[in-house]
Each structure stands twice: as C-alpha cells, then as structure tokens.
A and B are shown apart, each in its own frame.
Chain A
Amino acid sequence: MSTTDSTSEHHGEGVKRRDFLFIAAGGFGAVGAATVVWPLVDNLNPSADVLALSSIEVDISKVQVGQSIRVKWRGKPVFIRHRTDEEVAKAKAVDIKELKDPQTDADRTKPGHEAWLVMVGVCTHLGCIPLGEQGEFGGWFCPCHGSEYDTSGRIRKGPAPLNLEVPEYAFLNDTRVRIG
C-alpha cells in the first residue's frame, strides 16, 4: 500500500512538471499561431473601400410604366421594374400555396409603391442573369438552365430553389431609391 502510494506520488510529481511545461508551451504556441493566422485570413474579407460601396442611390423618375432598368450593386445587377397594372394584378392573383418558395406580392414590394419591383437579378440556381419579360409566366427566364420566374420574380418552374432575392432597399421619396 505504502509502496504504491510513494510510487504514484513520485511518478505523479515528475509528470506534473513536464506536463505543465508542455501544455503551457503548447497553449502559448496555439494562441500565437491563431493570432498569426487570423490576419492572414481576415485580409481576404471585403476591404473598407469595398464595404463603402455597399449601398447606392438610384433615380427612378425616368422609368416609365412597363420599363425596367438594371443597376450594378455590389458587383451584381439589380432589376428595377415599373410594372404595369396587369402585371401587378397577375402577381397578386397567384395562390401562394402552389409556390415553391411561398411569398405574397406584398412581401416583395413596399407599401405605396406596389408598381415597383426591386430585386437582385441573379438566378437562385447557379448565378446566371435571367432575361426579362419572357417565359410562360411573363416574368423572367434564365437561359442557363431554364428556370422561370413570374411577374413578382417568384420561382415557378425549373431547377432554381428560391425566388429572386429582394435586397434591403428603401424609397427616399417617389423618385429615389436607396439599395443596401
């Protein structure tokens, strides 16, 4: 009994000191390595000048009913469409239960500006730019893999999983929109 005790004690003491040194040195090294790695990774994130360009203002006073414009925002096209009454009516008439990504037309527009549709013009399938006023739903048609969107930019047919993304935006007044 006393023999095992003294052996384990002796053994425990010897291991303790070494273990402490190894863990202290290893821990210190790990923290050091992490502080080295973080700047090497974080510099690949968007830089301050890229972030500064992350919101834009657009003048929409010249866009007539039935016309669309495309603006570049964060390197991607944003479609701004001044929809016809017929298109709005058609979008509102859809039963959202039959949609793949259920959203009402009101979810995708701003109150008081229902004629205006603002969305990122990038197909949610693999990133191509859909063509306007095409396809069997009168909305957008993606030439890459045949996804079709309706007049509210909702996915109706084809491989894309989601509706065209509505970015964060606000009407500053009736003729100016800020995107981002």
Chain B
Amino acid sequence: MTSTRPFEPKNGFVKWFDRQLPLFSVMHGALVAYPTPKNLNYWWSFGSLAGLMLGVQIITGIILAMHYTPHTAMAFASVEHIMRDVNYGWLLRYVHANGASFFFIVVYIHIFRGLYYGSYKAPRELLWMLGLVIYLLMMATAFMGYVLPWGQMSFWGATVITNLFGAIPFVGEDIRTLLWGGFSVDNPTLNRFFSLHYLLPFVIAGVAILHIWALHIPGSNNPLGIDVKGPQDQIDFHPYHTAKDAFMVSLLLLIFFAVVCFAPNYMGHPDNYIQADPLVTPPHIVPEWYYLPFYAILRSIPDKLMGVVAMFAAILILFALPWLDKSKVRSGTFRPIFKQFFWVLVIDVIALGFVGANPPEGAWLIIGRVATAYYFFHFLILLPVLSRVEKTRPLPESISQAVLAKHA
C-alpha cells in the first residue's frame, strides 16, 4: 500500500538521517500516513491493544527479572521479596501477572474479530498464520512464566504439561527428559524455563513486526469485508486511528488497573502461594484460564495420546482455516447462517472454558465431549460445507457508498 501523504521532513537532522536510513519514513508510512478503510469499528483497535500489552509485559518482565532468583531453593522467596521488600514490587508483579491475562483477553477478542469478519481469507492468509504463531508463542511464554514463582500450581502445572509430551509414541520419554533436564521437574527445568521465558517475548515482538508488515501489504480488512476501491474509501491512520486507539487504550487501562488494584489475585490460584512440594499434589490442578478450553479438549478424550493430539489439533486446525472456509464473502455480516454459527462457536469455546475449570465428571464430562465434538465439526465440516451452500446477502458496491448510505 502506498501512502497517501508523502513523507516530507522539515528538520535538517531528520532529512540527513532518513536519506541514509529511512527509519523515519518507514515509521511515517506505518503509523501516520498508513491508509485504512474508513469504516473500521472499535474491534479493529485490539491489534494496537495487543501491542501495548506486549510492551507492558516486556518492560515489567525485564524489571522483575532484576529482583527474581531462578533457583528452586530461592525462587518462591524471591517472589515474596518482590512483593514485600522491593519498592513498588507488588505493583510490578501484579501488573505482570494480570498483564498476561489481559494480553490473552485482548488477543482472544482480536482472533474472534478475525473469525467473524473473515480476516483470515485471501489475501491475508499469511497474516492470519503469523498471528497464530504469535498466539502459540504466547501460550508457551505464559506457561513458562507461570512456573517461575515456584508455587504448587507452578510445579504441578509444569509437571502435567511436560508430561503431555510423554504421550508421543517412541520418543515421548526422551523428549520429556530433555525438557526436564532430569527425571522430574526440578532446578534445571526452572533455569531453562526462566531463560526461555525471557527470550520468547522478543521472538513474539519479532513475529509481531512481521505480522504488521504482512498487514500493511494488502492493508486492513474491514467490517464489510470488501476490498478498498480507491482513496475515497480510506482515511489516514493518524490522527483518526491513533485517536480511536488512544480511547480504547484508556478504556483497557481503566479496566486493567481496576483489576490490578482491587482484585489482583482474582485470576490466579491460591495454591500458588504455597511453595512447590514435589511430594504433594494439590487436590485440584487447574491451568490458567486462558488454557482452559484446550485443557477441556484434552480431558474429554479418554485416551492419553489422542487427548494430546486433539488438544494440539484444536489450535493447528486454525492454520488451515483459510482453505477450509472457501466462501468468497469475507464478512459475517453478509453470511446469515455463518453469522449464527459464529456465535455458536463463541459459546462453545466459553463452555469448554467452564468445562476445563471443573473436574471431569458427571455432566461436565458430557458437556465437554459435546463441545469438543462441535469445535471440530465447526471447522472441519460446517465451514467447508457452508461456504458452498450458503446464500450470501448482496455486498455493497464500495465502502464509501455503504458508509454514505448509512448516514444519508
């Protein structure tokens, strides 16, 4: 996409610098003159919000690492040291711990927005897949971060998740030993998790740059899902979206700090305030909320290997989505049946979340199995069939025509 406003710096230093390294013109093209469809709604702010949360996590994380000790004998105490002794340590840690949750909230909304408006479809398949790579990296990073405080949930969560790899035929045991650096989750595990937990956010940042790059080639999708036809369909990123995003940032920070200040442990688990004990497992092992739907899928299948396969497949299936949903119409607004099933999927995933939080018995087990079956049905059967048979509503001729008609 070429920018509508050329970059013409007045400052002599900027001119000199930009001639040798066009950093300023690239930033100008990406953050100021980037042309966006003029009909983007607030759901399109969640990409910026995700970027903000990544920044918050990296900054607070670097500082927490200055006060934290990655050793089984000292990790738990060093976290308490952060909470009690370090100036504003409680704030930094609560922002970091809840920041992970809010990062996931923002990213889940971002993903579902893409699902509803067909943002994964051509010409944005690679953009979608890069986003999924970020999501997988986030899951790995958050998991390893949760191990660091070395509480009971850290230890047993790490034990359960690493044991998943033991389900792989033939090499499972060896992979598990390799992950552990021993015969159980112990000091070598904690050390390598700390190292990787520090590394992966920078990998996420790198993939996020590719994600934005891949976004700026075709330009943003929009609520109508139709292509931009010309400058009359577009507005510049600045000041229109910077202002809109700033409003959403204020809203996010308001809710975020309400949680950080008034319910900082709401999304945590009290058992993680007990130091890790390799000889006692807590009665209810529950992963962090953002893994619950996948945890439910894992437990709904009564076979160790197949459960693990289903869990990973639930995420990997999203990589094939651009080819499973063949409908030429992107936006769910013009797909009457798809739109209804989109909300069924939303309810299904939330239901899986509740199933994951509860013990796998009685009704929960049945709900979990039905919800798991629906999840795969939705992507593997419903979408391919629906995209052939569904009669879509007529698309507007252009974005500006639709926008003007709405306000006529």
Contacts and interface: CB of A to CB of B under 8 A. Distances in A.
Nearest to B86: A47
B67 A48 contact: no
A48 B88 contact: no
A86 interface: no
Contacts of B89: 43, 47
9 residue pairs, one from A and one from B, having the closest CB atoms: A39-B88, A48-B85, A47-B85, A49-B85, A47-B86, A42-B87, A43-B87, A43-B88, A39-B91
Interface string B47-66: 00000000000010001001
A50 B86 CA distance: 9
A47 B87 contact: yes
Contact of B63 (A40, A49, A50): A40
Contacts of A40: 59, 63, 92
A63 B165 CA distance: 63
Contacts of B328: none
Nearest to B66: A44
Given A43-B88, A47-B89, A48-B84, 19 more contacts: A38-B88, A39-B87, A39-B88, A39-B91, A39-B92, A40-B59, A40-B63, A42-B87, A42-B88, A43-B63, A43-B67, A43-B87, A44-B63, A47-B67, A47-B86, A48-B85, A48-B86, A49-B81, A49-B85
Q: Which of A38, A45, A47 has the most CB of B within 10 A?
A: A47
Contacts of B66: 43-44
Contacts of A39: 87-88, 91-92
A46 B66 CA distance: 12
22 contacts: A38-B88, A39-B92, A40-B59, A40-B63, A42-B87, A42-B88, A43-B63, A43-B67, A43-B87, A43-B88, A43-B89, A44-B63, A44-B66, A45-B87, A47-B67, A47-B81, A47-B85, A48-B85, A48-B86, A48-B87, A49-B85, A50-B85
A47 B88 CA distance: 10
A43 B86 CA distance: 6
Interface string A30-57: 0000000011101111011110000000
B367 to A, nearest CB: 43
- Max count, chain A CB within 10 A of own CB: residue among B67, B87, B88: B87
A49 B89 CA distance: 13
Contacts of B87: 39, 42-43, 45, 47-48
Contacts of A49: 81, 85
Interface of A: 38-40, 42-45, 47-50
A40 B63 CA distance: 7
Interface in B88-117: 88-89, 91-92
Nearest to A49: B85
A17 to B, nearest CB: 16
Q: Is the interface of A mostly helix, strand, loop or mixed?
A: helix
Nearest to A51: B85
A37 to B, nearest CB: 10
Which one of A40, A45, A49 has the highest number of Cβ atoms from chain B below 10 Å of its Cβ? A40
B1 to A, nearest CB: 29
Nearest to B56: A36
Contacts of B63: 40, 43-44
A47 B91 CA distance: 14
A48 B89 CA distance: 11
Interface in B199-224: none
Nearest to A46: B87
A43 B84 CA distance: 12
A47 B84 CA distance: 9
B92 A43 contact: yes
Nearest to B95: A39
Nearest to A29: B246
A38 to B, nearest CB: 8
Contacts of B88: 38-39, 42-43
A48 B67 CA distance: 13
Interface string B68-87: 00000000000001001111
Contacts of A45: 87
Interface string B294-323: 000000000000000000000000000000
B96 to A, nearest CB: 12
A45 B89 CA distance: 11
Nearest to A39: B88
Contacts of A44: 63, 66
Nearest to B253: A32
B19 to A, nearest CB: 31
A50 B81 CA distance: 11
B266 to A, nearest CB: 21
Contacts of A42: 87-88
A40 B92 CA distance: 8
Nearest to A48: B85
A64 B87 CA distance: 43
A14 to B, nearest CB: 17
Nearest to B64: A43
A47 B85 CA distance: 5
| Residue from B84, B85, B91 having most chain A Cβ neighbours under 10 A | B85
Contacts of B85: 47-50
A40 B91 CA distance: 10
A44 B62 CA distance: 12
B288 to A, nearest CB: 25
Contacts of B86: 43, 47-48
Nearest to B89: A43
